[in-house]
Chain A
Amino acid sequence: MKSSLRLMLAASVGVGLTLPAIAADPIKIGVIAEVSSISGAAIPNAAKLAADEINAAGGVNGRMIEIVEYDDHNSAADAVRAFQRAASQDHVHAVIASYVSEVVLALEPWSGRLKMPMITPGAASDVISHRVHEDYAANKYTFHGYMASTFLSDSVCDGVKAIAGPLKLKNAVVMSEDAAWTIPLDAEYLKCLPKIGINVMDHIRLSPDTTDFTPIYNKIEGLKPDVIITGISHVGVQPTVQWHDQQVPIAMIGISSQATSSTFYKDTNGAAEGVIYQTISAPDVGVTPKTLPFVKAYEKRYNITPAYCGYTTYDEVYFIADAIKRAGGTDPDKIVDELEKTSYVGTIGKVEFYGRDSEFTHAIKVSPEYIGGMLVQWQGGKQVTVWPNDIANAKIKFPGYIKTGTN
């Protein structure tokens, strides 16, 4: 009905001019992200890439995908305004939002109030899916399209367990930025590291505003650990450069979101050399047959490799389109029903969501069968996968000033 009205309107406007080519209404997907950050920029970039591919192949039942972009400047208030505008003014049918947990947690109630299906490609806090579990009726429109923090820690622990022997890792200091996503991350680190035989000597939470990390490294070095287990995303360049320039002799392994994009090497002038980070897809390994073609297309268009949330966003546009196709329209409740049934092999593995019985309701399933973690190291300016062994492309190699594995 609505579309036929629009058709008539379009036709009447076109009278006397050239008649516009009338296509079916597009499917609009709102993308809310902080575009001036490495991770944030990858979200709209990857979304546009996926949308263009889907449209080139004929769209969804003849309807084109239209990406509507909003910059939230890493502000929850800006993101909420963008979300409201997307729903009430721009009439989008689903939203892909942010890599920042604080922002996604602020949007989650709005997703319920405005009945707007929303998925985050990069935020990690466990609370996002816990809320869906606790109040399904209100929060069922939110999906968590990236590993929850607890799974991230477990994945890091699995990787560290595999490499601890040869590198002689026994003692660790956990160093995380103070943010919503690192609260469950650190809690799990403190549980899973001892389980794999790593003694946690100290647990440091640093302010994301920190510019001089010398005192922190000084303190850590005094404890003489074998490894620094990281949980950093908002910070990245400065701690890495200072680690390198001060030649802190301890390896850094863990979550370092900024390190996932190739611009990180350039931004740090190569100080990233030797950094090991956990991720779910890397530019050198075909996790699935879709991974490498995506990386290639992304690099061709944007001249950099995608940050971690570029992979997830790309997949999300595809499986949202699939869900809308299966739902036979854009009714939000039907989209949610179909998203719940998602079983989609994308660039990161096989995407399925936990059901209502799991405390991680609507978060992506994590296991080697679905989405598994991997460790990637910066070596000679390239991101190379070093774990799991069956897909690893290189052995771990540190710059000369790192003492790990040699003592």
Chain B
Amino acid sequence: MKLLQILIDGFAISSLYGLGAIGFTLIFGVSGVLNLSHGSIMVTAAIAAWVIAGDLGLGPYGGAAGGVAMAVALSLLTYMLVVRPIQTSSRIAREEKEIFVLTGTLLWGIMIQEAIAYLFTSNPKTVRPLIPGVIEILGVRTPMQEILTAVISWVVIGLLWLLVNRTKAGKVLLAASINPRGLTLLGFELPQIYFWVWALYGLLAGIAGLLLGAFLGVSSDNVGQLTASAFSIVVLGGLGSVTGSLIGAYVVGYLETITAYSGGPSIRTIPVLLLLVLVVYIRPQGLLGRR
């Protein structure tokens, strides 16, 4: 019984982690940016959905659409306001740009976090579930929203796979991650590609944030933890590898769930952190890393 519960809960949370981390790794793969405002974009989506569904009275679906739209807008804003000016600045040395982007996105994330706390308090909010109610799976009472979380996560991940592998736009994305210079020689505008990658990233982070908000609830206090968890998953799976991130998400998700059920939720993240230390020692490039 407990095993089945762990299997179900672990699957839902891992799928959600996967969706959250996949956008994070995509941005890194394509444009070399580690976006440390990741958590704040996820939380923004959830809080916006909560406000739009409740205060503005547009219901769960209106809230969901508005939340994801907010995440996309915020993601593009992050790119144009923070990342792009650093990348194009001639006053920042090339080798220092990565650290500037890291710092810039980190501070940007904190600004968003503080703004959310100021406007909507740091108290957690929960997004209205799209499908309320529970269902029994072999005797385990499972909220419909938990099942929906896993299903939507995998549908979105599947669509992303189709986009990358089956469309011209996807091939351009792949090319940008492998050889951006070659791509510019073929006449593609890199800034334009980056713009679309950030929009795509916003969409993924937004959906992940929304699902998390409906499944467990989020507050502005979760921002750092969400960024750290995406970061851990991506390091574990191998920076820039989408498949690696998915595997990493399942390793982290199940390890956490097993720990929470056997040792207690207060030590939930400890084994994952120990595993990360091990990975950094033994296989610094991560499970499927290519750099």
Chain A: residues with CB nearer than 8 A to chain B?
A: 36-38, 41, 178, 206-207, 209-216, 218, 236-238, 241-242, 245-247, 258, 263, 266-269, 271
Complex interface: chain A residues within 8 A of B243 (CB): none
Q: Is the CB of B126 within 8 A of A246?
A: no
- Give the docked Cα–Cα distance between A212 and B9 (Å): 10
Distance in Å from the Cβ of A36 to the closest Cβ of chain B?
4
Name the residue of chain A whose CB is nearest to the CB of B258.
A215
- Give the docked Cα–Cα distance between A356 and B264 (Å): 42
Q: Looking at the complex, which one of B117, B217, B266 makes contact with A178 (CB distance below 8 Å)?
A: B266
Q: Is the CB of B217 within 8 A of A218?
A: no
Q: Is the CB of B121 within 8 A of A210?
A: no
Complex interface: chain B residues within 8 A of A268 (CB): 126
Q: Looking at the complex, which one of A37, A216, A246, A263 makes contact with B141 (CB distance below 8 Å)?
A: A246
Q: Is the CB of B143 within 8 A of A269?
A: no
Q: Looking at the complex, which one of A209, A214, A246, A267 makes contact with B134 (CB distance below 8 Å)?
A: A246
Q: Is the CB of B217 within 8 A of A238?
A: yes
Q: Is B5 an interface residue (CB 8 A)?
A: yes
- Give the docked Cα–Cα distance between A38 and B124 (Å): 10
Complex interface: chain B residues within 8 A of A246 (CB): 134, 141, 143
Name the residue of chain B whose CB is nearest to the CB of A248.
B141
Complex interface: chain B residues within 8 A of A37 (CB): 121-123
Q: Looking at the complex, which one of B129, B217, B261 makes contact with A237 (CB distance below 8 Å)?
A: B217
- Give the docked Cα–Cα distance between A236 and B145 (Å): 20
A-contacting residues, B211-246, CB 8 Å? 216-217, 219-220, 222, 225
Known interface pairs A36-B122, A267-B125, A268-B126; A241-B5 also in contact (CB < 8 Å): no
Q: Is the CB of A245 within 8 A of B122?
A: no
Q: Is the CB of B121 within 8 A of A41?
A: yes
Q: Is the CB of B216 within 8 A of A269?
A: no
Most buried by A among B127, B217, B225: B217
Q: Is the CB of B216 within 8 A of A242?
A: yes
- Give the docked Cα–Cα distance between A211 and B222 (Å): 9
Q: Is B118 an interface residue (CB 8 A)?
A: yes
Distance in Å from the Cβ of A213 to the closest Cβ of chain B?
7
Name the residue of chain B whose CB is nearest to the CB of A40.
B121
Q: Is B152 an interface residue (CB 8 A)?
A: no
Q: Is the CB of B265 within 8 A of A206?
A: yes
- Give the docked Cα–Cα distance between A268 and B124 (Å): 9
- Give the docked Cα–Cα distance between A258 and B122 (Å): 12
Q: Is the CB of A238 within 8 A of B264?
A: no
Name the residue of chain B whose CB is nearest to the CB of A242.
B216
- Give the docked Cα–Cα distance between A247 and B143 (Å): 8
Distance in Å from the Cβ of B274 to the closest Cβ of chain A?
18
Complex interface: chain A residues within 8 A of B124 (CB): 237-238, 267
Q: Is B174 an interface residue (CB 8 A)?
A: no
Q: Looking at the complex, which one of A215, A237, A242, A269 makes contact with B264 (CB distance below 8 Å)?
A: A215
Q: Is B13 an interface residue (CB 8 A)?
A: yes
- Give the docked Cα–Cα distance between A215 and B5 (Å): 9
Given contacts A214-B5, A241-B217, A246-B141, 7 further A-B contacts (CB under 8 A): A36-B121, A37-B123, A214-B9, A218-B261, A237-B124, A237-B126, A242-B216
Q: Is the CB of B121 within 8 A of A241?
A: no
Complex interface: chain A residues within 8 A of B168 (CB): none
A interface footprint on B1-15 (CB within 8 Å = 1, 0 otherwise): 010010001000100
Known interface pairs A237-B125, A267-B125, A269-B126; A36-B117 also in contact (CB < 8 Å): yes
- Give the docked Cα–Cα distance between A237 and B124 (Å): 6
Q: Is the CB of A258 within 8 A of B266?
A: no
Q: Is the CB of A212 within 8 A of B123?
A: no
- Give the docked Cα–Cα distance between A271 and B126 (Å): 10
- Give the docked Cα–Cα distance between A368 and B8 (Å): 49
Closest 5 CB pairs of A and B: A207-B266, A36-B117, A237-B124, A215-B260, A36-B122
Complex interface: chain A residues within 8 A of B122 (CB): 36-37
- Give the docked Cα–Cα distance between A258 and B124 (Å): 11
Q: Is the CB of B265 within 8 A of A213?
A: yes
Known interface pairs A246-B143, A271-B126; A266-B265 also in contact (CB < 8 Å): no
Q: Is the CB of A216 within 8 A of B145?
A: no
Name the residue of chain A whose CB is nearest to the CB of B117.
A36
Complex interface: chain A residues within 8 A of B132 (CB): 245
Complex interface: chain B residues within 8 A of A41 (CB): 121
Q: Is the CB of A241 within 8 A of B126?
A: yes
- Give the docked Cα–Cα distance between A41 and B119 (Å): 12
- Give the docked Cα–Cα distance between A246 and B122 (Å): 24
Complex interface: chain A residues within 8 A of B257 (CB): 215
- Give the docked Cα–Cα distance between A6 and B78 (Å): 51
Complex interface: chain B residues within 8 A of A211 (CB): 216-217, 222, 225
Q: Is B180 an interface residue (CB 8 A)?
A: no
- Give the docked Cα–Cα distance between A210 and B263 (Å): 13
Q: Looking at the complex, which one of B134, B222, B265 makes contact with A216 (CB distance below 8 Å)?
A: B265
Q: Is B38 an interface residue (CB 8 A)?
A: no
Name the residue of chain A whose CB is nearest to the CB of B221.
A209
- Give the docked Cα–Cα distance between A247 and B140 (Å): 12
Q: Is the CB of B54 within 8 A of A266?
A: yes
Most buried by A among B13, B121, B219: B121
Distance in Å from the Cβ of A342 to the closest Cβ of chain B?
32
A-contacting residues, B1-38, CB 8 Å? 2, 5, 9, 13
- Give the docked Cα–Cα distance between A352 and B220 (Å): 39
